[in-house]
């Protein structure tokens, strides 16, 4: 039962074992002789002391013999130190390698997921799992293996030695040994409870810190520093409480352990001394008993520590499995296509879509012939961004509803699709790197000239050259050091730099004034020559480049045609157009 629970919880961890097996086995190969030498050293010291203090002259060691045995002792010490080093090097190394593979796979797994797959997960929580939980599993499968193996080898060995030396003293020594084991056992449960508690409080604390920090603008805007501060204070208290409990327990445990050890010393002195005076025990053996206690002490404590660690690691492994269990909702087809020739003909056929059972799009169909520009407009919330995510396959469209050059996009390889279709999303995200690196994000093949050309088309070049470091300006996290409009224009430049045959712009001029908007559209006109483009905007003026326009309302295509046709038709488009034109005229006054 217990074993099945273990293999189930640690299935993933165990599957990494083959990768670190060689290193791990080398560690164990050092561990066994190292323990044997530890026992030898103990016996050699006893032997020397027995030799020099022997009562009858015939048994007494000569000076040369003492020298030889001391030499043996030193050699054995050196060898055991070297082996101890090897053991730690290999076993800790194996556990670090294990940790690296685990974390690498977790990262790769996350990269395979789509935004909506992880929408319900908090960054702070993922961070704490990726750091603390992996560390807990590593500790269990690495260092604790080492300590348990040591304990399993050393404790029986010293018990055998003690009983061979003197069964009476050895029996009395069982008292501190059993006492130690009991202390360790009793302390294990509360220690494990409070260390889990401490880890959870820390995760909570980091989540709040991370969110308050990322959302600092909102916190400031609503003057809720006090509330955030109070939450933080309360969680800090809880974390402190768990840690104080833990420290108290650890302090009490180690004090009791030391007392047990002193009891052991007392027994060696009392009962051992009595046996010594009786002539049943030699002085060297007296020393051996004391050493046996020292040697066995550590592994016993380590077993207790491991018992505490076990539950922590198990919870950690299960928490990590929860992340690994997230299935990507968009997956590459097994025999994904990557057609060599791309014309850029895009068709949407009878596309309906619902977000968690709330219908957003219904029976949407349109055709964008290769090289033409389609405008999509409609009121906010009518489903434009959802449509963009579907036709670029950031969200999975139903089979056969989105076709690129006649192929269902679900049959195309990710690489092909991403290279063919460039999307400027409505919400831009910039990395905290230089602005040049942000624009050249799509690949190393983008040169300095390309970056400057696309920055000029996106009308962000003047802003950039005005920065103290120009193109080498480092951006703050998520690009916070830029204005909303600058961020949008940088994002446009980034997509243009990738030079995709099909370009999709999702309401990405919303934070740009109308003069700049016109300049960007002017630059795009040239760039779009021979390319397929979809320009999505809730503002009609941004659609001047479009050959045809699709008007969405409540998820349905309500009108389709050229700008002039739609205005003449006098429907929703004409309405929106008129209202926005009047708004602009009023603004211009
Ligand atoms: N990731 C999502 N999960 C659930 N609902 C969503 C998600 N994204 C958008 N929606 C919902 O879909 C509807 C259409 O939104 P959206 O496509 O962003 O509209 P638009 O871009 O036209 O303003 C809205 O009611 C919105 O609440
Ligand atoms: Mg939108």
| Whether residue 144 has its Cβ less than 6 Å from ligand 1 | no
In a domain, 47, yes or no: yes
Exposed, middle or buried by CB within 10 Å (0-12, 13-18, 19+), for 529? exposed
More confident: 125 or 519 = 519
Exposed, middle or buried by CB within 10 Å (0-12, 13-18, 19+), for 415? exposed
Residues 15-59: tens digit of each pLDDT: 998 999 999 999 999 999 999 999 999 999 999 998 988 878 888
Please check whether residue 299 is in contact with residue 155, taking contact to mean a CB–CB distance below 8 angstroms: yes
Same domain, 295 and 407: no
User: What atom of ligand 1 comes closest to residue 536's alpha carbon?
Assistant: 21
In a domain, 190, yes or no: yes
> What are the residues whose beta carbons fall under 8 Å from the beta carbon of 356, sequence distance 6 or more?
none
Same domain, 282 and 357: no
In a domain, 44, yes or no: yes
Strand 402-404 relative to strand 373-377: parallel, antiparallel, unpaired? unpaired
Q: Which ligand does the CA of 387 lie closest to? A: 1
Whether the predicted pLDDT of 1 surpasses 60 = no
The mean pLDDT of 275-283, rounded to a whole number, is 88
Distance in angstroms (rounded) separating the CA atoms of residues 242 and 60 = 59
Instruction: Choose the final residue of a domain: 267, 291, 324.
Output: 324
Distance in angstroms (rounded) separating the CA atoms of residues 306 and 292 = 22
Helix (H) / strand (E) element for 241: namely: helix 225-267
Strand 373-377 relative to strand 548-553: parallel, antiparallel, unpaired? parallel
Same domain, 280 and 145: yes
The mean pLDDT of 162-175, rounded to a whole number, is 90
| Mutate which of 116, 383, 423, 553 for ligand 1 pocket (most atoms within 8 A of beta carbon) | 383
Exposed, middle or buried by CB within 10 Å (0-12, 13-18, 19+), for 490? buried
Exposed, middle or buried by CB within 10 Å (0-12, 13-18, 19+), for 350? exposed
Same domain, 318 and 350: no
| Whether residue 529 has its Cβ less than 6 Å from ligand 1 | no
Same domain, 177 and 263: yes
In a domain, 84, yes or no: yes
Q: Give the predicted TM-score (pTM) of the model.
A: 0.81
Residue 576 Cα to ligand 1 middle (Å):
20
Instruction: Choose the final residue of a domain: 257, 290, 324.
Output: 324
**Any idea of the CA torsion for 383, 389, 393, 398, to the nearest 10 degrees?**
-10
Exposed, middle or buried by CB within 10 Å (0-12, 13-18, 19+), for 103? middle
The mean pLDDT of 303-328, rounded to a whole number, is 85
Q: Which of 77, 96, 100, 93 is nearest to 28 (CA)?
A: 93
Residue 540 Cα to ligand 2 middle (Å):
14
Residue 220 Cα to ligand 2 middle (Å):
27
- Domain residues for the domain of 23 are 9-324
Query: If you take atom 14 of ligand 1, which residue's CA is the nearest one?
Result: 383
Same domain, 90 and 142: yes
| Whether residue 383 has its Cβ less than 6 Å from ligand 1 | yes
Whether the predicted pLDDT of 341 surpasses 90 = no
- pLDDT grade, residue 240 (50/70/90)? very high
Residues 419-447: tens digit of each pLDDT: 999 999 998 889 999 999 999 998 888 88
> According to the per-residue pLDDT averaged within each range, which of 80-84, 139-143, 538-542 is highest?
80-84
Distance in angstroms (rounded) separating the CA atoms of residues 555 and 387 = 9
In a domain, 570, yes or no: yes
- pLDDT grade, residue 2 (50/70/90)? low
In a domain, 53, yes or no: yes
Same domain, 122 and 73: yes
User: What atom of ligand 1 comes closest to residue 506's alpha carbon?
Assistant: 21
Structural tokens at position 543 = 């659609």
More confident: 209 or 361 = 361
Same domain, 72 and 149: yes
Distance in angstroms (rounded) separating the CA atoms of residues 522 and 213 = 39
Same domain, 422 and 538: yes
Q: Which ligand does the CA of 386 lie closest to? A: 1
At 217, which CATH number? 1.20.1560.10
Output 264-267 pairs: Cβ under 8 A, ≥24 positions apart. Answer: 264/173, 264/176, 264/177, 264/290, 264/293, 265/290, 265/293, 267/169, 267/172, 267/173, 267/175, 267/176
Please check whether residue 504 is in contact with residue 391, taking contact to mean a CB–CB distance below 8 angstroms: yes
User: What atom of ligand 1 comes closest to residue 387's alpha carbon?
Assistant: 17
Same domain, 133 and 26: yes
Query: If you take atom 16 of ligand 1, which residue's CA is the nearest one?
Result: 383
Q: How many domains does the chain have?
A: 2
User: What atom of ligand 1 comes closest to residue 382's alpha carbon?
Assistant: 22
In a domain, 332, yes or no: no
Residue 384 Cα to ligand 2 middle (Å):
5
Residue 380 Cα to ligand 2 middle (Å):
7
In a domain, 143, yes or no: yes
Determine phi and psi for 374, rounding to 5 degrees: -110, 135
Whether the predicted pLDDT of 394 surpasses 60 = yes
- pLDDT grade, residue 479 (50/70/90)? confident
| Whether residue 419 has its Cβ less than 6 Å from ligand 1 | no
Same domain, 359 and 312: no
Same domain, 179 and 70: yes
């Amino acid at each position: 039962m217990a074993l099945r629970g273990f293999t189930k919880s640690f299935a993933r961890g165990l599957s990494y074992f083959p990768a670190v097996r060689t290193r791990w086995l080398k560690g164990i190969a050092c561990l066994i002789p190292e323990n044997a030498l530890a026992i030898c050293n103990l016996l050699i010291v006893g032997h020397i002391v027995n030799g020099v203090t022997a009562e009858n002259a015939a048994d007494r060691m000569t000076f040369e013999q003492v020298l030889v045995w001391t030499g043996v002792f030193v050699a054995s010490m050196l060898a055991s130190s070297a082996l101890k080093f090897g053991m730690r090097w290999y076993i800790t190394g194996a556990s670090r390698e294990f940790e690296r593979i685990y974390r690498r796979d977790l990262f790769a797994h996350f990269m395979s997921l789509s935004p909506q797959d992880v929408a319900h997960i908090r960054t702070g929580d993922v961070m704490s799992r990726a750091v603390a939980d992996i560390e807990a599993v590593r500790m269990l499968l690495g260092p604790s293996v080492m300590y348990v193996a040591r304990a399993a080898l050393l404790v029986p060995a010293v018990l055998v030695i003690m009983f061979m030396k003197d069964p009476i003293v050895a029996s009395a020594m069982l008292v501190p040994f059993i006492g130690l084991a009991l202390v360790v056992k009793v302390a294990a449960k509360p220690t494990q409870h409070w260390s889990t508690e401490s880890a959870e409080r820390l995760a909570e604390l980091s989540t709040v810190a991370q969110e308050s920090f990322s959302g600092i603008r909102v916190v400031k805007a609503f003057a809720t520093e006090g509330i955030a501060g109070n939450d933080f204070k309360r969680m800090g208290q809880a974390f402190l409480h768990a840690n104080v409990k833990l420290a108290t327990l650890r302090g009490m445990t180690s004090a009791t352990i030391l007392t047990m050890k002193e009891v052991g010393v007392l027994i060696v002195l009392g009962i051992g001394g009595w046996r010594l005076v009786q002539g049943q025990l030699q002085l060297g053996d007296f020393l051996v008993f004391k050493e046996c206690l020292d040697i066995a002490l550590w592994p016993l404590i380590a077993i207790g520590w491991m018992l505490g660690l076990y539950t922590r690691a198990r919870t950690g492994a299960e928490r990590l499995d929860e992340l690994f269990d997230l299935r990507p909702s968009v997956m590459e087809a097994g025999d994904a296509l990557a057609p060599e020739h791309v014309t850029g003909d895009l068709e949407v056929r009878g596309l309906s879509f619902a977000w968690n059972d709330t219908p957003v799009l219904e029976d949407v169909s349109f055709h964008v012939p290769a090289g033409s520009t389609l405008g999509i407009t409609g009121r906010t919330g009518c489903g434009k961004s959802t449509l963009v995510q579907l036709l670029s396959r950031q969200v999975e469209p139903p089979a056969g509803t989105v076709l690129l050059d006649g192929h269902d996009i679900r049959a195309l390889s990710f690489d092909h699709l991403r290279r063919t279709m460039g999307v400027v999303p409505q919400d831009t995200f910039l990395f905290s790197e230089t602005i040049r690196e942000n624009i050249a994000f799509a690949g190393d093949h983008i040169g300095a000239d390309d970056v400057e050309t696309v920055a000029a088309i996106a009308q962000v070049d003047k802003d950039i050259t005005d920065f103290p470091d120009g193109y080498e300006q480092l951006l703050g996290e998520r690009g916070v050091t830029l204005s909303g409009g600058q961020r949008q224009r940088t994002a446009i430049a980034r997509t243009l730099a990738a030079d995709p045959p099909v370009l999709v712009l999702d309401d990405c001029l919303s934070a740009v004034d109308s003069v700049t908007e016109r300049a960007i559209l002017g630059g795009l006109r040239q760039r779009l020559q021979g390319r397929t483009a979809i320009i999505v905007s809730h503002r009609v003026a941004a659609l001047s480049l479009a050959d045809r326009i699709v008007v969405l309302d409540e998820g349905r295509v309500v009108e389709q045609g050229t700008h002039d046709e739609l205005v003449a038709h006098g429907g929703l488009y004409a309405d929106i157009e008129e209202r926005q034109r009047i708004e602009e005229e009023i603004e211009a006054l």
